[in-house]
Structure 1
Amino acid sequence: MSAPIALTASLPRPAVKAKAHKLYNLILPISLSTGLVLLGYKKRGFGIGKYNGFGGKVEAGETLAGSAARELHEESGIVCSEEQLAHHAVLLLETVAEGKEAEMEMVKEKVLEIHVFVCTQWEGEVEETDEMRPQWFAPEDLPLDDMWEETRIWMLTALGMYLSVPASAAAATANSSSCGAGPGAFNPPPPTTTMTTTHPDRKWFIHYVDFHGGVNAQTGEWDPWHGMGKSVWKWFDTPLVDWSREEVVAWVEGVRNGGEGKAEQVEA
């Protein structure tokens, strides 16, 4: 287990109300031999019309890696063991969009905590499912305008740990449209998006984003998970998968209370 996490940012008072976390996983199958990543085109439900990695909710009684392996198989047909899944990131997403509808209020009560895995070895053949249509992409050819706003930032960073990411790909990310609001400045920019080689010494990061609402280009309708606002990024030197639930919640609450999400390991 990692050492306890202490927030170094001074938090203002009164603090905002803490939110519960809803656990998800997201998996990126990467072919090292071809330099391609497998993404899925969402055919139905939440995120319809967008490309992303494979994944879904962590069900009761499942481990993070176990749920990731299950979702990957269900959505793409390929089989990857828990041991073949490398955990690299935690995405912490919330919407602060205004809305009085009961459904909107329920959406605003939770932080989406999405654990990102990469697999480079698997068995079976890629196949289309009822929910997802898989497609291989080079980092420079990602379908940026058909992806979630925050994904356009973090995905190239994750790919840069395994593949060569041309500078042109980073430029395309910066210039992509954003389905409701411009990507804007994020602090700090993910280092690997400007790299032209792999970045093996950077392995774990957290990306926090809040959304203020905007038009979803794929549906043409207003959506609370568009209009990216505050964006906080931090690299870590130890595996995030070892963090306790309390540590993850403390980190994001530090950000939500006006801090920069800075955390450091302290001696027990």
Structure 2
Amino acid sequence: MSIPSRIAFLGGGNMAGALINGLLSQGLPADQLLVVDIHEPTRERWATQGLKTRPKPDVFLEGCDIWVLAVKPQQLHAVTQAIRPFLKPDTLVISIAAGISLSSLSNWLGETDQPFTNIIRAMPNTPALVNQGVTGLAAGSGVNQAHQALATQVLESVGQVVWVVNDAQIDAVTAVSGSGPAYVFRFLESLIAGGVEVGLSADEAKALAIATVQGAVALAANSQEPIHALRENVTSKGGTTAAALDVLQSEGFMETIVKAVQAAHIRAAELSDEFGQI
């Protein structure tokens, strides 16, 4: 990988770690990466891989062109105040902290009459830990095409990226793909439980359920047919699949999933308001 920039990670936890490992696996030299984290074991872990580390923000940040904010939302305001002295006009800031809007970040990093707008808000999801993530991205008003290309390259190291048109849509991304793995895991739990109920061992049911979901997703991703047609292809009139789908329909399965996504979307907006008001 050729990224003509040094990248600083403010926070070296799980999601930052996924990105760092993704970048390293793509060939980015370790000495182009800096991790700032207060926890010594975290710093030691990255230092053993050749990364530069610091216990708190300092002048080392000035040598980095891209800053990735990867701390908990409730910590982000304090972190932005600590890094402001080292911010340059052309620094690109990428936030992967959930629930903090571009406008809040712009105000925290800028001045009252001059917000800092070279900011991209990103919402990755946990499959990034195995390089199968998808990240929604929204750009601040100061972000140019070169910035967007850099952000795409960084986030594609752990999966796919989808650019959305504005910051508000990141809440929708959160509801679909950010929270989405949990919906799939709950479905898998239910499918496994069903398999055990009809006589399979837990291990057999788990293997079958995971392979089935993997195969169905791969088919959906590679087929030119719409999703509903793929479902219909499996469903013979009066057959086993039809019997199962009749139960899902009668229990409001699709409506429940839609309501779940709507609830996550509402909560994402609430968290944005809650964490962004400092």
- TM-score, normalised via structure 1 length: 0.28
Give the TM-score, by structure 2 length. Answer: 0.27
Q: Which has the larger radius of gyration?
A: 2
Structure with the larger strand share: 1
